[in-house]
Structures are given as structure tokens and as C-alpha cells.
Structure 1
């Protein structure tokens, strides 16, 4: 058995007076996750936006200034989560947030392990807010992280609603898909959850949703946050019949954790009651032969 304990954060965004407060919060959250026996901690999309509070109320209240303030603190945040992963000897998908690179603003989630940085995934599908109001650019490529825990892909929030992205990662070997999210309505949260569950079904793998929760009215970019953390698998033999491995209550902060056996991913793909992972290519021929019949 290749057992991995994964904890997903339902993470509230706080107004913080200084960097020391942020560091204390991050350390406390990682410590609580480690106490659950987690091998992998997953923080949410735009969880880094609480760093905008370090610029004061006026900065945090302005979309442009808040983004730039968070990007300014990003190197320090990266060093912090790297150090925490090493100290607690576990893997951490750190809170995603803006980085500025080559003149572009990107929404980046970085993965750290007990030996230090592993890599980062930029969000590749931008929401209307990111495209039309915030000028955040799409990432250029997907990354597969081949770790000692297993093969991990990251599909950030809206990315999880586009099946070809997760399919590419699954074909490259992904056994776990991490889905950090940030949504301001139950409908938005539901879209991401449904996407995460569908990707687990299609690819016969584990998906992990970690959302922001609660109000942060001091920052319009992340002022309202709805969601619940959850871990999902294919509803087939060896998995829960509902496909829900573990789930938290809506809008309730904290960790949701479960232990999964990654050997079960391989078993489901090879000998499951259904073989979606194997049968995926069979869609191509009828799609190519599509015809339109008019009355």
C-alpha cells in the first residue's frame, strides 16, 4: 500500500498588522495540519491575498495596489513556506497569489517538500474577474510533480472546470490533483467542487479542494469567500460510493484530512468497475464523425 494522508484547508483571510502576525498564523496552520499526521497540506487559491493588509487599509482596498503589495511580499512568503515544509518534514502547496514576471501578473501556487522547493504551477484559465478587471495573465504550461509521495498535478480553481487540463496531467501520470480555490458564491464553489469530482471520476484519481472561507471586506479582491474543503475519488470499488472521501462543513474554517491509498488509483485504472481512464481515447472517433440532423 502507498498510503498518503492529505489535509485540505478551508482557510479564512485575516487582516494582519505585520509580517510577524502572518508568519505566526502560517506556522500555526501548518503545525495543526502536521498534528493530523498529514504528509501533504493544501492551501487555497489567493490565500496569499491577506498579505495586502500589510500595506494598510488604503492599499488593501485598492485592486491594483493590493495585487502589487502581495507580489512585493511573495519572496518572503515563499521562503516561509519552504522553511515550514522542511521543519515539519511534509509537503505543502502554499497559498496561491500574484507574482509579476516578465511584465505579466500570474496567479502562482508553489509546492514545497521536506527537501525544499519542488516547483510551481501558474493558473492557466482566467476567470472574467481576472481577465477583465485585474489583468492577471494565463500561465503558459502545466507541470507534473513527481514526488516521493506520488505524482501530483495542480489545477487552480477555474482550471478544474476544463477537463482537458486534468486529462493531460493524468496521461502524464498524475495520481493526485490539487484544486486550490477561491469563490465568492455557493454557485462558484459548487462549480469547482463539481469539476473536482468530475475530474476524479474521469481520471480515476484523487482530487483535493481547498477553498478560502469567510469575509475579508477590507480587500475587494477577496471580500466574500464561500466553500468547504474536500477530498474526492472515483465512485467505484475501493472508494466511497459517493466519491466523497472526506468533506468539511460549508464556510467552516479548518483542516479536512483523509488517508488515501495511491495503489488503489492504479488498481481502479487497471481493473475498476468502469475504465474511464483507459477508455478516454475512444471518444475521438465519434466526435470526429459528428453530424447534424435537421428536422
Structure 2
């Protein structure tokens, strides 16, 4: 049975704002454009919320600690805005992730909103070196499966997409779509996340959606350079494009990448695919119980 859903992935530039009204105007324009083009699920990037550091002024934005604290302080206001946007346009939105401070712990959180308000959130599970060694952001606890009217959704924030067991746990819980908001400052970093997202789509026979930050924000050292391209990926099988790429934007080019996917194909792929990695996943455990070492004997030299 066909289950079409139109997904919009943002390649999102970080801007400087002189006022909250300017930020609201930007978000309103982005959401309105995606909705006008038929988007039902809108995906914003990792650390997209860090542009709110500009509202603290140049000195705050340029200081890692101060920028994080300032953006965390605006979290409630930002969530109110995205809840209103989701209700106004009757869409689902994964809002830009950003810092929250709970019980003295710093977390990198992405929240999902539907037309009726906040559905829930996912905290990043595994921190990069920058996050753990310099910014001192803490790992989130646990994973969330979002069971929505559009379909069952999991979120793997940037680096999390490079760890297959996280996505696997979400897929086994029922996830059909894996959202991968990202923030990377090099082409290599972008490609690590892109390859991770594609691999997770292959292994779990699901749709993966990458939404990156793009462009420069030199006024905030935490997010000063941003590289990437928005894209939707699928397992390269008979139900999907042979490349595994449903749609992909130009590198470092701001805007939405929008495509309609049939989630019914996820179930069909898992049942009838040319290969069945989702079903055969458990067979790995038998193969890896022991590792033999075969040494070459070079003989006399």
C-alpha cells in the first residue's frame, strides 16, 4: 500500500540577527516556503540554533561558553516559535538542534513538533572531540522513536549516524525514517555523516534524511565554517534509486531539498528486497563469536 510523504531537508545558513523579530521572520519564511512546496516533514540541521547567539551581541557570540549559555537561555522561546509554525502550516518540524542545560548537564537537543505541538526530543548520544574536549557537552541518555501520523521517525544527530547500533535500535523499534541533522566544518566531516546516513539506510532498509548547516558564521567560533549538502537517501534496491540517492542538493548551497517518498516501500524492501540486511542483521553474531588469525609464513629471506 502506498504511503506517500513529502520530506524537506534544509541546507541552512546561520545568520546574524539584531532582534528576535528578525529571527522569527527568517524561520517563518523558511517554513512557509517548504510548506508551499508540499513539505509535510521539515528537517532543520544540528546546531542551527546557534545563530541565536548573535542576539547576545558580538562579545557573547564570540565566546564559546557565553554563546552556549545564551542560546540555551532562549530554548523555550525558540520551541514556542516552532510549535506555532508547525500548527500554522499543519506540518511536522524537526527544529534546529541546540544546547540545553538540565541538572547542570549540557546537552545537544533536537525537538520534533507536529500540528498539535511538541511530540518529544532526541539528545545527541555520542559527542565529537570538539563537543567533549572543548565545549564540554554531555551525552544524552536513551533514544526516542517518534510515532507520528506521517510515520515512525528516529533521529541520529550528526556523529550519531556514524554508529550503526543506534540506528539499528531505532529501526528495530519501528523507525521507517531516520533524520540526520548535521553540522560539519569540513568536506571530510560532511562526507563522514553522509556516508553514515547512507549506510544506515542500507543496513536498515529505510529512508535517511541529512540536513546540514552551510556557509560561514565567522562571528561564532563554535559554528564558524559549515560544509554540506541536504539529501534524502534510501537502500539501493529495486524499490529505490540504484544510487541510493532519492534527492540531493548542491554542495554548500542554501535552500530546501524536497522529495516525496513512499514509506510503503520500506516494508516491501524489508520483506522482498534483492538483499535483506534488516532481516539478516542477527546472523552477524554467529560470524563474530571468534576471530581466527591466519599468519603468512614468509619463509627464509
**Band of TM-score, shorter chain:** over 0.9
Matched with 2:275 is: 274
Mapped partners of 1:205, 1:166: distance in 2: 10
Equivalent residue, structure 1, for 2:18: 17
Which runs of structure 2 are paired with 1:195-206 in the superposition (5 Å)? 195-206=196-207
Larger Rg: 2
SS at 2:25's partner residue? Answer: helix
CA distance in 2, matches of 1:30, 1:259: 17
Deviation, 1:290, is 1.9
Partner SS state of residue 288, structure 1 = coil
Mapping of residues 1-295 of structure 1, within 5 Å: 1-295=2-296
Alignment gaps of 5+ in structure 1? none
Q: Distance in 1 between matches of 2:43 and 2:125?
A: 19
Task: Detail structure 1 runs of 4+ shifted over 6 Å in the superposition.
Answer: none
TM-score between the two structures when normalised by the length of structure 2: 0.97
Deviation readout 1:194-244 (Å, 9 max, x if unpaired): 000000000000000000000000000000000000000000012000000
Give the Cα separation in 2 of the matches to 1:202 and 1:36: 31
- Cα deviation, residue 291, structure 1: 2.3
Shift of 1:287: 0.5
Q: Size of the alignment, in residue pairs? A: 295
> SS of 1:17's equivalent?
coil
Instruction: Write the distance in 1 (CA, Å) between the matches of 2:29 and 2:103.
Output: 34
Q: Which residue of 1 aligns with 2:299?
A: none
Counterpart CA distance in 1 for 2:295 and 2:65 is 51
Q: 1:292 Cα deviation (Å)?
A: 2.4
CA distance in 2, matches of 1:143, 1:237: 30
- Give me the whole-angstrom Cα distance separating, in 2, the residues matched to 1:158 and 1:123: 8
Instruction: Give the RMSD, CA atoms, in angstroms.
Output: 0.6
